[in-house]
Amino acid sequence: MKYISTRGATAHKSFSEVLLMGLAPDGGLMLPEAYPQIDAATLEKWRGLNYPELAFEIISLFATDIPAADLRDIINRTYTAEAFGNAEITPVRTLSDGLKIQALSNGPTLAFKDMAMQFLGNAFEYVLAKESRELNILGATSGDTGSAAEYALRGKKGINVFMLSPEGRMSAFQRAQMFSLQDENIHNIAVKGMFDDCQDIVKAVQNDAAFKEKYHIGTVNSINWGRIVAQVVYYFAGYFKTTQSNSEKVSFCVPSGNFGNICAGHIARQMGLPVGRLIVATNENDVLDEFFKTGAYRPRSADHTHVTSSPSMDISKASNFERFVFDLIGRNSSGIQVLWAEVGAGKGFDLSFLLDKVHQQYGFVSGKSLHADRLKTIRQVYGQDGELIDPHTADGVKVAREVRQNGETVVCLETALAAKFESTIREAVGNVAVPRPAALQGLENLPQRVRVLPNNAEIVKEFISETLEK
Ligand SMILES: *Cc1c(COP(=O)(O)O)cnc(C)c1O
């Protein structure tokens, strides 16, 4: 399988090549030339598979340049009961009102990003070893992404991670999660500044081509194709767990920010998985809800991004959205160039003439959930089902209940565990004990390893080069 860029000006690439890529050189996002089509007989055969077997069948359709035995090994080492808390990997449960919840949040950092990042860590290590290459990941995080990357890449050969975070701005739990890692290849850097300052430093380093080249600097952000492809798997797994036969349809409701998670749902649907609707749930940052209701995409600037109690959805420019629009407009690269030139100029675009197609052909609908909705939903689920859901999942549950139709099976993706967001949980339900997986008891008491640096790209570069030259 060959990969192309949404902007049409990048030479075709193999899976191993796109795996290590961020943005395409033409500014676009990489996608397969065509989505593999799953026929009824294959779908029937897959129904009986366990998670790693299913992951192998699906990923092997995309990773055609990795020998089957190697890919199987990477996947078997990734989706284990030890890493994901149980052998089912993404178990599905049913709330008392019939809504299904698929748990994607039982990985090492208790958020759905582990589902893809754990695969990426092993796949990176494999490709780098094969090509005798090294990679030094530089990233900025305000919480979830950084920890998922560190837990995926800790101890991996040929890889170092330099993760910038704003000093004193993450929760005690998030700090403990990242800074307690003692692996030699993980380097936490607390910057005396805000999250945006951390991002600016990453950009400054990326823009220094000589430095980037000399020190093999790379990233793992949400546009990485390897992450999307690993996420396709759990839509199939969720479908099989909630149906008896392949004549049934299932809708998925997805708490969304960068559109990475639900983009994988779109791809699963395009491959032929009988998905009914794809329900996009946003928080106060409703750029996607606006698009799916009106057809107008109007990304907001960073200073118009609300800081909310579902922080991993605080995004006003959905980086993976370009992949869906590419399909929507008939895979027309020049069209994408025109539309994203408007986005780049701070304007956005209007595709209201395609809104019927968005709803009918692609199955997308949306809704939004505000702080008060989130608290109310957490409280309701706690009252009715005796369980605590995290604020992001609560946004999904709120929207799913709102748009669900009679007879429609809706699976809401659980994107984090409540344990990560204790203060919002307490705000919703009062002073209850928020359950935490046994492995994370006492996390905050472990010794921490972090380097505090000033808000200065040159000093961060010095730290990187000194560390790598030691
Ligand atoms: C990253 C994240 C999201 C948003 O996912 P996207 O792929 O960016 O749409 C939702 N919930 C949680 C807990 C997350 O960490």
pLDDT tens-digit readout, 298-352: 998 877 888 899 988 888 888 899 999 999 999 999 999 999 999 989 899 999 9
**Which domain CATH number covers 259?**
3.40.50.1100
Q: Is residue 46 within 8 Å of 54, Cβ to Cβ?
A: yes
Amino acid letter, 464 = I
Q: Do the domain assignments include residue 449? A: no
Distance of CA 68 from the midpoint of ligand 1 (Å): 30
pLDDT of residue 145: 84
- Site to probe by mutation for ligand 1, drawn from 253, 259, 313 as the one with most ligand atoms within 8 Å of Cβ, is 313
| Candidate from 111-120, 163-172, 368-377 with smallest mean pLDDT | 163-172
Q: What is the CB neighbour count within 10 angstroms for residue 80?
A: 14
pLDDT of residue 301: 81
CA distance 174 to 96: 32
Q: Do the domain assignments include residue 181? A: no
pLDDT of residue 203: 86
Q: What number is the average pLDDT over the span 1-5? A: 97
In the chain, % of residues over pLDDT 90: 84
pLDDT tens-digit readout, 82-93: 999 999 999 999
Q: What is the CB neighbour count within 10 angstroms for residue 35?
A: 19
- Site to probe by mutation for ligand 1, drawn from 235, 261, 316, 398 as the one with most ligand atoms within 8 Å of Cβ, is 261
pLDDT of residue 200: 87
- Site to probe by mutation for ligand 1, drawn from 256, 267, 282 as the one with most ligand atoms within 8 Å of Cβ, is 256
Q: Do the domain assignments include residue 87? A: no
Q: What size, in residues, is the chain?
A: 470
Distance of CA 10 from the midpoint of ligand 1 (Å): 28
pLDDT of residue 310: 92
Looking from the CA of residue 261, the nearest atom of ligand 1 is 7
Which residues are CB-neighbours of 429 under 8 A, at least 6 positions away? Answer: 378, 379, 382, 388
pLDDT tens-digit readout, 84-134: 999 999 999 999 999 999 999 999 999 999 999 999 999 999 999 999 999
CA distance 288 to 366: 8
Nearest to 124 by CA among 150, 152, 164: 152
CA triplet 277, 283, 287: central angle to 5 degrees? 75
pLDDT tens-digit readout, 389-420: 999 999 999 999 999 999 999 999 999 999 98
Which residues are CB-neighbours of 112 under 8 A, at least 6 positions away? Answer: 104, 105, 261, 413, 414, 415, 416
Distance of CA 210 from the midpoint of ligand 1 (Å): 33
Q: What number is the average pLDDT over the span 28-50? A: 97
Residue holding tokens 């505000």?
A: 370
Nearest Cα residue to atom 1 of ligand 1: 312
pLDDT at residue 220 tops 90: no
Q: What number is the average pLDDT over the span 454-460? A: 96
Q: Do the domain assignments include residue 141? A: no
Of 100, 113, 420, 461, the catalytic one is 113
Distance of CA 257 from the midpoint of ligand 1 (Å): 6
pLDDT of residue 274: 98
Domain count, the chain: 1
Task: Estimate to the nearest angstrom the gap between the alpha carbon of 182 and the chain centroid.
Answer: 25
Q: Do the domain assignments include residue 334? A: yes
pLDDT at residue 143 tops 80: no
Q: Do the domain assignments include residue 363? A: yes
Q: Do the domain assignments include residue 241? A: yes
Domain enclosing residue 243, as ranges: 92-109+231-429
Q: Is residue 252 within 8 Å of 275, Cβ to Cβ?
A: yes
Q: Which residues does a 6 A CB cutoff place in the pocket of ligand 1?
A: 111-113, 144, 222, 255-261, 312-313, 392, 415-416
Nearest to 440 by CA among 178, 249, 194, 197: 178
pLDDT of residue 118: 96
pLDDT tens-digit readout, 237-285: 999 999 999 999 999 999 999 999 999 999 999 999 999 999 999 999 9
- 113 in active site: yes
CA distance 267 to 250: 15
Beta bridge partners of residue 279, listed in sequence order: 253, 365
Can you read off the two tokens belonging to residue 246? 């392949």
pLDDT at residue 174 tops 90: no
Distance of CA 315 from the midpoint of ligand 1 (Å): 10
pTM over 0.85: yes
